[in-house]
Homo-oligomer: A and B are copies of this chain.
């Protein structure tokens, strides 16, 4: 894996990550393909919207259909017919949020599946092994996502465990990867404490990773605190490695984070919101189930180059979502992912031209304007 920083505008960075499966233009938004599918989307639709990479969830895939099954079927790319690189998380975050009877020890996390109660043990070594079996091109170290809020002492103890796990993850990666050219990212922890974030970043850099994620954010701390943590963390990250803010976020979160030097994002928001009737548009969020759209012949957002955004009326979206039709989730997920990829493309273009400040101002103005007025 090779990262090239092509331009910088303020702190905002334009780059490209080369992987054996293809290039990733950064800043990049990675749609989430939880259980080997970006929900309600065909893989070629995701690709055509401009997504260079998607994310798979180790927790979901280790339970169903299992890493060994995916490996026997040729890897995750072949299994789900995704023609590009894939990043997998370590599984740790979802073990903590979804599984039953979970218990963290120095060794790893033991838990029971939320599906059938079967017992599992996820260690740093097993997580990397699973991600290798899945064929992920970018793999993540197992860490503990420190809960928010945490005292300084809790955050320190948790971060230090994550650092020991990062070391074991790297060792396992070197053993499993065997020169395939795939990548392992470290994850900076330390909650909201600048001193802990610095210590965590320095220790990871000492170990040496292909990229650095900023973890433990988007867990309820709010956007301001998230930005504050980014401000005190990114200065300690090397310029020549990609930076990945995990699980983020809203369009505004993405813009604020790119402005602070982040290169990669993933979030279920565009697809989850799409299933529940919320559209992200140039002029802010739209609840398509609202009665004001029931007779509105206008499209969702003409500025987004996607059939879902341009060809169907708001009245049709409203009808489909009121009726609980599959196509409602399909079209709105499609539109939302299109909007997200358009936003990323616009940011990349602005950085390239050295006009990120103008982009930023226009974005804020558009979002503040709010949705188009109702028809009379």
- A residues engaging B (CB < 8 A)? 35-37, 39-42, 64-65, 69, 72-74, 79-81, 294-295, 297, 311-313, 315-316, 318-320, 322-323, 325-327, 329-330
Contact = CB atoms under 8 A, between A and B. Distances in A.
A370 B103 CA distance: 49
A326 B319 contact: no
B73 A39 contact: no
Given A295-B72, A326-B326, A330-B326, A319 B65 contact: yes
A79 B315 contact: yes
5 contacts: A37-B327, A41-B327, A65-B322, A69-B294, A326-B329
Contacts of A80: 316
A76 to B, nearest CB: 11
Given A64-B323, A65-B294, A73-B295, A81 B330 contact: no
A36 B315 contact: no
Nearest to A69: B295
A311 B74 CA distance: 14
A64 B325 contact: no
Contacts of A79: 313, 315-316, 319
B69 A315 contact: yes
A297 B75 CA distance: 12
A330 B330 CA distance: 9
Contacts of A65: 294, 315, 318-319, 322
Name the 7 nearest CB pairs between A and B, nearest first.
A40-B326, A37-B327, A65-B319, A35-B323, A37-B325, A73-B315, A39-B326
A306 B166 CA distance: 45
Interface centre among A36, A297, A319, A325 (most CB of B within 10 A): A319
A42 B330 contact: yes
A174 B133 CA distance: 67
A24 B274 CA distance: 35
Contacts of A39: 325-327
Contact of A297 (B64, B73, B322, B329): B73
A72 B294 CA distance: 11
Nearest to A333: B326
A40 to B, nearest CB: 4
Contacts of A320: 36-37
A36 B331 CA distance: 14
A318 B79 CA distance: 11
A187 to B, nearest CB: 27
A136 to B, nearest CB: 17
